Amino acid sequence: MPSAQLSVYGQGARDSLFWNKATETMPRARLDALHLHRLRALVQYAWDYSPFYRSKFDQAGLKPGDIRTLADYKTRMPLIDKSEFIALQAEQPPYGPTLALPLEFVAHHSETSGTTGVPLGIPFSTYDTVRYGESWVYGMWALGIRPGDSFYFAFGWGNFAGFWSAYWAARRLGCRVISGGGLDTRGHIQTIQRLRPTVLISTPTFALRMAAVAAEMGVDLAQSSIRYTYHAGEPGPTALPAMREQLERAWGAKAGELLGIAEIDAMAPGCPNGDGVHVNEMNVFAWSIDPKTGQEVADGEIGENIVTSYVNSAQPLLNYRTHDLVRRRAACSCGRTWTKFEGAVLGRTDFMVTVRGTNVYQTAVENLLAQVPGISMHYELVLTREGDNDVMTVRFEPDKAIAAERELWNKAAAEAAERIHRALHVRLEIKPVAPESLPRYELKTKRIIDQRPKEFRRALDR
Amino acid sequence: MTAMSNEDRVARIREARRLIVAAMQGCDSPQIETMLRSADMELHWALWNLGEAVSLRPELDYG
C-alpha cells in the first residue's frame, strides 16, 4: 500500500470549472481598482528602467505621479506602435532602448511572425515566460483539458513566440509534451497515430490541412486519439463558426481558440461558450479606441484594441496599438467578468488575410508591390477560397514604361512574387492584366476584392 | 479539512515570502539561490493572482 496518494491536484482544484475562479469572476469595481494600482506601478517601472519610455514620457511632459485615474492613463499615456520598436531595434540590435531589464535577466529570445514586414524581437525574462504560458491555461482548463492529457505540437519551433508560449502553457498545466518539430504533414499524422496525444496545438488552417492529407493517406483523424484542438495565430473556431464546424468534424474533437499577440501575451483565452474570448485581466489592461479619432469607444461598439501588458517586464508594452478591431462586452453568461471580445478579432485596421497558414497584411503586400519596377499603382488583391485555404492573387496593370512589351509584364510579376516570398514567406500568384482594364475609383481605391464565401471572412470583412 | 479563506492564504504566502527572502541573505550557492528565487517568483505570482496589489517583479521587493 503506498504511503501517499500521488496526484497533481487536490480534489478541490481538480473539480474547479475555472483555472482561478476568484479572479476570472472578480467584480468589475475590484478589477478596475487593481488595474489602477498595477498601471501606476507599471508606469513607474517603465520610467525607472526603460530608456524608451523615459524618453516618451519626457516628450509628452508626463511624470509617473500624473497617473491618478484610469482616465488619466488612457488620455495621457502616449499610444505606442510596433513600428517604433522595430525601428529602434534596427538601429540598436537586438533590443535597443526598448529593453527594461539587464540582459542577464533575458531567458528567451522570441520574435513576431514577421508577416507585417520585419519581425519584432521580443525578450522574455523567465518570469515573463511563466506568465505568458499561464494565459493559455485559462482557456484550456475551461475546455476540459487536464493533467493526464498530452499535447502534440504540430509545428517547427523557430523563434515565434506563439509556438513557444503554447509549450510554456502545457508545462504550466502539467500535461505531457510531444513535439512534432521537424516533421512534415505526413510525419505529424503518423506520430499522432503512434503516440496517441489527446490535444492538438496548431494554427486552425494547418489542422484542416492535416485532416486533408490524412484523408489522402486513408486515415480518418476523427477516429484518432485527439479529443481537443486548440488554436491561435489566425482567425479560428471562435472568429469563424464555419471553421469550428470543419475542425470539429475533421478531428472529432472540441476546438478551442485564444487571441494572442506575439509580443504581448496569449492575452485572451477562449470563452467556453465558443463565441468569443475573454481578456486575461490579470495579465493585461485592454481598452478600445476609434482608430480614426483616437477617442475611446463604449462597450458594444467596434474599436481598435489597445493593450498594456503587466507581464512583459523585459520589454514593457504600454498603450500598445494592436490594429485589431474588436467589440467589447462587459458581461458573459459563462460567469467570467473579464471583458469579452465577441467573435474574437472582427477585422484589422490594416486588412489581414491568412494564406496557407501565414498572416498576410494588405499593407505589407502593397509596400512590396510599390518597390517592383514595371508594376503600376493600378492593382487589386483578389481573395478566394480553395479547399481549406484562403488564396490571394495579385492582379496588376503594367506601368506605362513597359505597357507595350508583354514579356516584361511577366518579368515584373515574377519579381514581385519573389520579393513577396522573400519578405513574407508566402507564395502569391501575381497576374498581369491589360493596361486600363482594372476599375478606377473616384475616392478610395478598392484594393481588396474578397470572393471568399461569407462564412470564411471575419465579421467586418464580410 | 476546512477550507482556508483567501485572506488567510494571502497572509501565509506573504509569510512564506518573508522566510524565503531571509534564507537568500548571504547565500553563497548559486544553485540554492536560484531555487529560492524561483520559489519566491511563484509566490509573488500567487499573490498577484489572488488579486493582491504587489510589485511588478519580486526583485523589486528585495531592497
pLDDT exceeds 90 at position A439:
no
Instruction: Look up the CATH superfamily of A354-461.
Output: ANL, C-terminal domain (3.30.300.30)
In chain B, residues 18-57 whose CB comes closer than 8 Å to chain A: 41-42, 45, 48-51, 53, 55-57
Q: Does B1 touch chain A (CB under 8 A)?
A: no
Provide the pLDDT for residue A263. Answer: 94
Q: Is A38's CB within 8 Å of B6's CB?
A: no
Cell 553563497: give the residue. Answer: B28
The answer to whether residue A30 neighbours chain B at the CB level (below 8 Å) is: yes
Residue A299 φ/ψ, nearest 5 degrees: -55, 140
- Which residues contact residue B29 at a Cβ distance below 8 angstroms, ignoring those fewer than 6 apart? none
Q: What percentage of chain A reaches a pLDDT higher than 90?
A: 70
pLDDT of A453 higher than 80: yes
Strand partners, A340: A278, A329
CA distance B41 to chain A (A): 7
Q: What are phi and psi of A327, to 5 degrees?
A: -120, 115
CA of A313 vs chain B CAs: smallest distance (Å): 8
Mutate to test the interface with A, among B49, B50, B52, B55 (most CBs of A within 10 A): B49
CATH topology of domain A106-273: Rossmann fold (3.40.50)
Cα B29 to chain centroid distance, Å, stands at: 19
Closest partner residue to B57 among A30, A34, A127, by Cβ?
Answer: A127
Highest mean pLDDT among A90-94, A373-377, A399-403: A90-94
Rounded CA-CA distance A366/A348 in Å is 15
Whether A147 has a pLDDT exceeding 80, the answer reads yes
How far apart CA A116 and CA A15 sit, in angstroms, is 43
Give me the interface pTM, i.e. the ipTM. Answer: 0.96
Give me the half-sphere count of Cα atoms (radius 13 Å) on the Cβ side of residue A333. Answer: 3
Mean pLDDT across chain A, nearest whole number? 91
B42: nearest CA in chain A?
A127
Is residue A113 predicted with pLDDT exceeding 80? no
Domain with CATH 3.40.50.12780 in chain A: 106-273
Task: Quote the cell numbers at residue A350.
Answer: 490594416
How much is the pLDDT for A443? 42
In this predicted structure, the answer to whether residue A93 has a pLDDT above a threshold of 70 is yes
Residue of B nearest to A45 (CA): B56
Average pLDDT over residues A423-452: 83
Measured between beta carbons, the chain A residues lying within 8 angstroms of B41 are 126-127, 130
Residues of B within 8 A of A126 (CB-CB) are 41
CB atoms B51 and A20 under 8 Å? no
Residue A94: asked if its preceding bond is cis (omega within 30°), the reply is: yes
Decide if B51 and A127 are in contact by the 8 Å CB cutoff.
no
- Is 50 exceeded by the pLDDT of residue A136? yes
* Of residues A12, A30, A310, nearest to B51 (C-beta): A30
Are B49 and A23 inside 8 Å of each other by CB? yes
SS3 A397: strand
State residue A116's pLDDT score: 61
Q: Is A32 helix (H, G, I), strand (E, B) or coil?
A: helix
Q: From residue A203, give the alpha-carbon distance in Å to each of A6, A126, B23, B33.
A: 35, 25, 45, 39
Interface test with B, best of A127, A141, A312 (most B CBs within 10 A): A127
Distance between CA A361 and CA A367 in Å, rounded? 10
- Tell me the mean pLDDT in the region A337-349: 90
pLDDT tens per residue across span A221-272 = 999 999 999 999 887 888 878 789 889 999 999 999 999 999 999 999 999 9
Distance CA A317, CA A310 (A): 8
For residue A149, give the C-alpha cell: 492529457
- The pLDDT confidence band at residue B34, using thresholds 50, 70 and 90, is very high
The three-state secondary structure class of B14 is helix
How do residues A281-335 score in pLDDT, each as one tens digit?
999 999 999 987 899 999 999 899 999 999 999 999 999 999 999 999 998 999 9
Query: CATH 3.30.300.30: which residues of chain A?
Result: 354-461
